[in-house]
Amino acid sequence: MKRLIGTLIALFAFLIVAFISETNQEKAEQKQPTVGILQTMSHPALDQIHRGIIQGLKEEGYFEGKNIKIDFQNAQGDQSNLKSMGDRFIGEHAALTIGIATPAVQSLANTLGDTPVIMGAVSDPLGAHLVKSLARPGGKITGVQDRQPIAAQLKLMKTIMPDLKKVGVVYTSSDDSSTSEYREFKQLAEKQGLNVTPYTITSTNDIEQVAQTLAGKVQAVYVPTDNTVASGIATLLKATNAVKIPVFPAADTMVKSGGLATRCVSQYDMGILTGRMAGQVLHGKNPATLPVKRVTHYETVINAKTAEKLNIHIPASVLSAAQKKGRIIK
């Protein structure tokens, strides 16, 4: 009988300890703020931004599973997914949300409530009506502007191709960011005597047809920051490389995929800055008064394989710039 009583007491004590432990764990989980990350679609450039965000949060002292919960959602380019995933974050009472690329940020901006939204790489926050000003956003949205050095990209193109006269620009007509970059590129290029022809697409299904119309009409192709083109870059490069037309993309990931060269801001660095700004808001900073930031340094990236395939000579000055600050893909 005494043994039975002892066993029951031990069992009762074990259950109490287990209950207290579980209760403490639940309380700890409840204390962890949820950070919702919404990515527009999958392609290497946006994936790099996502990885950078996680690193940036760590630099601000936030670690997934330790003191924050991260809910990562990828809309895979579907507008309806963007809305439902944004609503999901609201239902989770997320402390903060992060949008990777303009469509994701716009969707989060349209969700109800005052949950802070951090922009991850938006080319034109003002044109997209996301903030009132870059210095003082004035609402629930702040973050990182994807400001590519378009003048430097144009200079790179002319240095590699001194006889360049005709340039085609492939971009998505409904993408605010790529449209903004196209306009800036066109303005700068035409001031320097270049003829710029736009080739717009509405989805990746249009890329092959558009690429085939480039032959004989342009000497080079410029691709701005464009998620749709980035996700279908292999199709574009297959067509342009076949007719020896070099592609100068805005993102280093597209050079790695077979583009010729770029001078660009690192997608990973933009992600780190986005994550750090998210951490600052979690620490208590007000997004309405936290200025929009951007990465100010850029790198030169050359694809030596593509240059050889297209029989294009890369000047020593460009190679030197890539070696000093950037990389040469061989």
**How would DSSP label each residue in 139-177?**
SSEEEEE----HHHHHHHHHHH-TT--EEEEEEETT-HH
Q: What pLDDT is attached to residue 77?
A: 84
Q: Which residue bears the tokens 């990389």? A: 327
Domain ranges of the chain: 32-145+267-282, 150-264+298-329
Residue 306 pLDDT more than 70? yes
Counting every residue written for the chain, the total comes to 330
Equal fold, 32-145+267-282 vs 150-264+298-329 = yes
Mean pLDDT, residues 95-115 taken together = 93
Each residue's pLDDT tens digit, 231-277: 999 999 999 999 999 999 999 999 999 999 999 999 999 999 999 99
Report how far residue 148's alpha carbon sits from residue 222's, in angstroms, rounded to the nearest whole number: 13
Please calculate the CA angle 281-149-299 and round it to the nearest 5 degrees. Answer: 85
Q: What percent of the chain is modeled with pLDDT above 70?
A: 91
Q: What pLDDT is attached to residue 216?
A: 87
Which CATH architecture fits 32-145+267-282? 3-Layer(aba) Sandwich (3.40)
Q: What pLDDT is attached to residue 1?
A: 53
Which CATH architecture fits 150-264+298-329? 3-Layer(aba) Sandwich (3.40)
Is the separation of the CB atoms in 54 and 66 below 8 Å?
no
pLDDT band for position 16 (50/70/90)?
low
Q: Rounded to 10 degrees, what is the CA torsion of 202, 203, 206, 210?
A: 60
Annotate 214-236 with b (16+ C-beta within 10 A) or e (fewer). Answer: beeebbbbbbbbbbbbbbbbebb
Q: What percent of the chain is modeled with pLDDT above 90?
A: 80
Is the separation of the CB atoms in 143 and 118 below 8 Å?
yes
Please calculate the CA angle 125-129-135 and round it to the nearest 5 degrees. Answer: 50
